[in-house]
Structure 1
Amino acid sequence: MLKFTICFIRQRDSILMLNRTSPEWMGAWNGVGGKIEGTETPLECVLREVQEETGLQLRGYDVQYKGTATWYNVEGGSVGGMYIFRAQLSDTVVYSTPVKTDEGILDWKDLSWLVHPKNRGVADLKYYLHTVIEEEQQHDYRFTYDDDGNLIHFEKALLEKSPVI
């Protein structure tokens, strides 16, 4: 079982993003999520983390499991990963941003801005966010990093069987 979750909350053409104040990805825009606690399922974790970090309660909204992101070192050893979720807010929900929280700054960002190839202010989202938001399939997004934390390889594999989440 992976240790983390992440959720990309969409409303119209924007995604609610968090610019984190602490590692990992400090200073970069990323989705909302965190560490799975105790006997939580990934879905229970992501619902709790979204509520804690944004105040939004996603129960009753369209929350979908979209796959995993797994991280490897140069020797091919797994160093972690996260379960990825996508949530769709109705147009009637008003969530004004920017909002400063203990975790960082929340703000709505346009999808095209987030995945722009020259955008250096986001986590490694350009490799998978468009697929997570626009497609229905579930994938494993595999990232290999060198010893300095630089991405040296990325691949995407279709998940044939969804884990119990």
Structure 2
Amino acid sequence: MRWLGWNRQRSPACGESPIGRSLLQSPALSHEPSAMPYTPIVATLGYVLSPDGKQVLMIHRNARPNDIHLGKYNGLGGKMEPDEDVLACMTREIREEAGIECDALHMRGTISWPGFGKQGEDWLAFVFVITAWSGTPLTENPEGTLEWVDVDKLLELPLWEGDKHFLPLVFDEDPRGFHGVMPYKDGRMVSWNVSRA
């Protein structure tokens, strides 16, 4: 395989490198400890589609006054447990938050949110679309009310500012996954960079 040919080269750590010397010696890729390591909270975020694919089940976060998401609409999901893989986390979160079982789901992408948490914590989410499910969805849970919303009206809802940048990628026809980084500072999105593969 031609495109793997570079892998036969030795790295600077081994003492010889005819390629990539400046890249491998850059501070961002060095082995020196940084001031603050990136140790994100790993989570899943899922969007359950109606059987006809025209609506999505959203949670209106209106139940807890101290909720960082209060008043906003979100997809479903949450933190990954230590003994779970990403798929197990997503199916568990959908079961807990919506009362349904996932029969078919597809990962659409990943998003890194440095500084997003209430105390400035970093988050990394695996984003899924649930295209088939069984059971009867709940109408509410401890975080708020569950509502079916037209996919083409999602951006009209009260959302996090950054959600308006990635939600179109979740529901578009492009088969490639998206991988984005969206830093937050003081509760506001700072920037958005995304690539697809």
Counterpart residue identity of residue 125, structure 2: M
Are residues 1:109 and 2:170 paired? no
Aligned match of 1:72: 114
Shift of 1:158: 1.6
Aligned match of 2:184: 145
Aligned match of 1:84: 127
Counterpart residue identity of residue 10, structure 1: L
Aligned match of 1:28: 72
Are residues 1:10 and 2:52 paired? no
Q: Distance in 1 between matches of 2:81 and 2:135?
A: 30
Shift of 1:139: 1.1
Instruction: Answer whether contact 1:70 1:78 (CA < 8 A) is retained.
Output: no
Q: Distance in 2 between matches of 1:96 and 1:2?
A: 27
Aligned match of 1:162: none
Q: Distance in 2 between matches of 1:103 and 1:57?
A: 19
Q: Distance in 2 between matches of 1:102 and 1:78?
A: 23
Q: Which fold has the larger relative contact order, with Cα–Cα distance below 8 Å and residues 6 or more apart in sequence?
A: 1
Aligned match of 1:163: none
Any idea what the Cα deviations from partners look like across 1:44-76, whole Å, max 9, x if unmatched? Answer: 001001001111000xx2201111111124xxx
Determine which structure has the larger strand proportion and give its number. Answer: 1
Are residues 1:130 and 2:168 paired? yes
Identical-pair percentage: 24
> Which runs of 5 or more residues in structure 1 are unaligned?
160-165
Counterpart residue identity of residue 141, structure 1: G
Determine which structure has the larger helix proportion and give its number. Answer: 2
Are residues 1:43 and 2:87 paired? yes
Counterpart residue identity of residue 128, structure 2: F
Instruction: Answer whether contact 2:101 2:135 (CA < 8 A) is retained.
Output: no
Name the larger-Rg structure. Answer: 2
> Which runs of 5 or more residues in structure 2 are unaligned?
1-39
Q: Distance in 2 between matches of 1:24 and 1:51?
A: 22
Counterpart residue identity of residue 45, structure 2: I
Counterpart residue identity of residue 155, structure 1: N
Consecutive aligned runs of 4 or more in structure 1 exceeding 6 Å deviation? none
**Aligned alpha-carbon RMSD (Å):** 2.3
Shift of 1:103: 2.1
Any idea what the Cα deviations from partners look like across 1:127-158, whole Å, max 9, x if unmatched? Answer: 11121122321111211222x11112112112
Counterpart residue identity of residue 143, structure 2: E
TM-score with structure 1 setting the length: 0.78
Corresponding pairs, count: 147
TM-score with structure 2 setting the length: 0.66
